């Protein structure tokens, strides 16, 4: 089997007993191959990591101390500057 130029092969080592358990669990979870299971878990991990990074960035924008009136005033100021500018 050849690997396309867009794919990279990853090799890891497991004890035989761990591999047997992994194979049983993979089948129980409905995956046909280790590769299918591994790709799914990598995609899930990356998605979760990206979501956590995004949430971390958003948490910096804490608006607990900003009132609705403050926001309305910011918008009015922005609109005045936009019209003047």
- List, for residues 8-57, the tens digit of each pLDDT value: 999 999 999 999 999 999 999 999 999 999 999 999 999 999 999 988 88
Please indicate whether residue 4 or residue 21 has the higher confidence score (pLDDT).
21
In a domain, residue 7? The reply is no
What is the DSSP-derived secondary structure letter of residue 2?
Answer: P
Q: How far is CA 62 from CA 34, 56, 59, 74, in A?
A: 42, 11, 6, 16
Are 14 and 22 within 8 A, CB to CB?
yes
pLDDT, residue 1, reads: 56
In a domain, residue 66? The reply is yes
In a domain, residue 5? The reply is no
Please indicate whether residue 67 or residue 31 has the higher confidence score (pLDDT).
31
pLDDT, residue 24, reads: 96
Let me know how many helices (H) and strands (E) the chain has, helices first. 3, 0
In a domain, residue 10? The reply is no
- Give the number of domains in the chain: 1
In a domain, residue 43? The reply is yes
85 — pLDDT class (breaks 50, 70, 90): confident
Residue with tokens 């979760």: 48
In a domain, residue 4? The reply is no
Task: Say whether pLDDT at 2 is over 80.
Answer: no
23 CB-contact burial (10 Å; exposed 0-12 / middle 13-18 / buried 19+): middle
Residue with tokens 């918008």: 75
In a domain, residue 48? The reply is yes
């Amino acid at each position: 089997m050849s690997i396309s130029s867009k794919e990279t092969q990853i090799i890891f080592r497991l004890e035989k007993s761990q591999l047997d358990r992994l194979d049983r669990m993979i089948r129980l979870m409905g995956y046909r191959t280790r590769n299918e299971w591994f790709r799914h878990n990598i995609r899930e991990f990356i998605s979760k990591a990206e979501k956590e990074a995004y949430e971390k960035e958003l948490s910096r924008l804490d608006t607990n101390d900003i009132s609705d009136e403050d926001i309305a005033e910011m918008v009015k100021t922005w609109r005045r500057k936009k019209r003047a500018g």
